[in-house]
Amino acid sequence: MAILRKRFFPGAAAQAALVSILLASSAAAADPSPPAVTPSERDAGVLREMNAAVTRLAAKVSPAVVQVQVTGYGLAAEPGRNETAYVARQRGLASGVIVAPDGYILTNYHVVHGSQRIQVVLAAPAKGAKPAANAASRRIFTAHLVGVDPNVDLAVLKIEANGLAFLPLEGSERVREGELVLAVGSPEGLASSVTMGIVSSADRQVDITQPMTFIQTDAPINPGNSGGPLVDVNGVLVGINTFILSQSGGSQGLGFAIPAPLARFVYQSLRKHGRIHRIEVGATIQAITPPLAAGLHLPRDWGVVISDVGLGSAARAAGIASGDVIESFDGRPINDMAAITSAIYLHEVDKPVALGILRGNERLTFSINAPEVTRSTDQLLDAADPAKDLIRKLGIVGIDVSSKLKGTIAPLRIGKGVVVAGRTLDATSLDSGLQAGDVIHAVNGAEVDSVERLRGLLAAIQPGEAVAMQIERQGKLLYLAFDME
């Protein structure tokens, strides 16, 4: 489109003013003092300073960001045969962040779930940079899984290295809406990719049925960024990037990260105990909005309300009811979903919860004897004896199917077998594709009815010979095939 320019012809008064300006300009040119900085030059200086600051920030953070390469097995359907389920070898690439110099790494649970082999690729040193004297000399390490928390979608890995660049999980200050942040990771396998944006929300509840809240950011996050760090302008780790909301599969400005205070608690628990010890109150909660408060005649239009109380739950036994507004948890004020999530995780197991409730205009306090959350895999490990039930060739701890497992595993298609209670970290074991909870029913057509029987069948198979193992996984019968090593 053409741009129309209107010519301007000044009148006599304007001409005189213009002559005065030109004379002043000539006098300024003759003055040996330096010219004044124009606004455009000042703006350029600000941009240069910002550019240098972002460059320094990326250089500070990137060495602590790693690629996480996983190999495992998953269900794959043969085209045109939907009724047939196969277990196929699968590979994936994601990100992680080193949080301790001796090789502890945080990533997402969904990144490593079902993996048989995890490798960590360290960032390449910057050009001209000299590594620390005790820094790792290798770039690729085999990692073992320290522990996971599926509810928060976090996992802790460990590699055998020291002197690593890391981002500490020390600060507890929460980010604020509008803050500048950087997301670092390996989208589509492109290592140390850096994107910048702002915090769209510091406390976003994505699913109203879950108390978990996230940092929402418009910093572009794409597949492969999962597990990477979200940092503020000081290079402080404020979150772990975990997922995006997208119709196209790419970034649409809706990225979400697990807040650092929650990530720190999970990391410390997994590093110390290997699993999370937390309680189950038995109540569903959601954030209060003004329309919800008006419709239910709640005493406040902000905070957290109980929307459901589970049948047979500790909350129901204590007298908690739907519509109750949570005012405090163990004496901590509850103003939003993030506060209740933190309070649940920080509560000591085996101690009653002191829950402050607003019910209409009445303030009430309840004592809830909330039990510890236990996963079926935790119960399986509790029922196993690693010294007696270890099956070294498969790298698993197995338990005979018996009445003592009633309530721990679902009813089986075949009533005999060996349940995989957990996997070991023995690097000499087979990459078989077994997962915790699988039930082994047969090896090369021979029935398996005990751990001893399984050991005997495996011992008779020579290195290099094929193994076809019939297993049951989530109610489906599958075959796993591999060569004996």
- State pLDDT tens for residues 50-67: 788 888 888 889 999 999
Q: Looking at residue 20, what is its pLDDT?
A: 46
Share of the chain above pLDDT 90, in %: 37
- pLDDT tens figures, 344-383: 877 888 899 999 999 999 999 999 999 887 655 556 666 6
CA distances from 391 to 144, 395, 402, 419, 422 (A): 18, 6, 18, 11, 11
Taking the C-alpha atoms of residue 186 and residue 67, their distance in angstroms, rounded to an integer, is 6
Q: Looking at residue 252, what is its pLDDT?
A: 61
Q: Where are the alpha helices (DSSP H) in 274-371?
A: 290-296, 314-318, 337-346
Confidence of residue 85 (pLDDT cuts 50, 70, 90): very low
Active centre residues (catalytic): 110, 153, 226
- Paired tokens of 115: 């993996």
CA distances from 335 to 265, 281, 363 (A): 20, 18, 16
Place of tokens 């076809």: 468
Confidence of residue 173 (pLDDT cuts 50, 70, 90): low
CA distances from 333 to 303, 324, 326, 329 (A): 10, 15, 9, 7
Please list the residues that pair with 355 across neighbouring strands.
329, 366
Parallel, antiparallel or unpaired: strands 353-359 and 362-368: antiparallel
Taking the C-alpha atoms of residue 350 and residue 348, their distance in angstroms, rounded to an integer, is 6
Residues contacting 181, CB < 8 A, separation 6+: 175, 196, 197, 198, 199, 217, 219, 230, 231, 232, 233, 238, 239
Q: What is the mean pLDDT of residues 211-238?
A: 87
Task: Tell me which long-range contacts 53-58 makes (C-beta under 8 A, separation of at least 24).
Answer: 53/233, 54/182, 54/196, 57/182, 57/231, 57/233, 57/235, 58/182, 58/184, 58/194
Going 425 to 428 to 432 to 437, the CA torsion angle's sign is negative
Query: CB of 136 within 8 A of CB of 66?
Result: no
Residues contacting 218, CB < 8 A, separation 6+: 197, 198, 200, 253, 254, 255
Going 44 to 46 to 50 to 52, the CA torsion angle's sign is positive
Taking the C-alpha atoms of residue 363 and residue 357, their distance in angstroms, rounded to an integer, is 6
Q: What is the mean pLDDT of residues 242-270?
A: 79
User: Which domains are delineated in the chain?
Assistant: 61-126+135-158 (2.40.10.10), 180-273 (2.40.10.10), 283-368 (2.30.42.10), 376-483 (2.30.42.10)
Alpha-carbon torsion, ordered 282, 287, 290, 291, to 10 deg: -60
Q: Looking at residue 41, what is its pLDDT?
A: 73
Query: CB of 417 within 8 A of CB of 464?
Result: no
Q: Looking at residue 254, what is its pLDDT?
A: 82
- pLDDT tens figures, 399-444: 888 766 655 667 788 888 998 887 765 444 556 778 888 899 999 9
Whether the pTM exceeds 0.85: the reply is no
Query: CB of 222 within 8 A of CB of 255?
Result: no
Taking the C-alpha atoms of residue 18 and residue 8, their distance in angstroms, rounded to an integer, is 13
Parallel, antiparallel or unpaired: strands 439-443 and 115-121: unpaired
- Helix (H) or strand (E) holding 469, with range, is strand 466-473
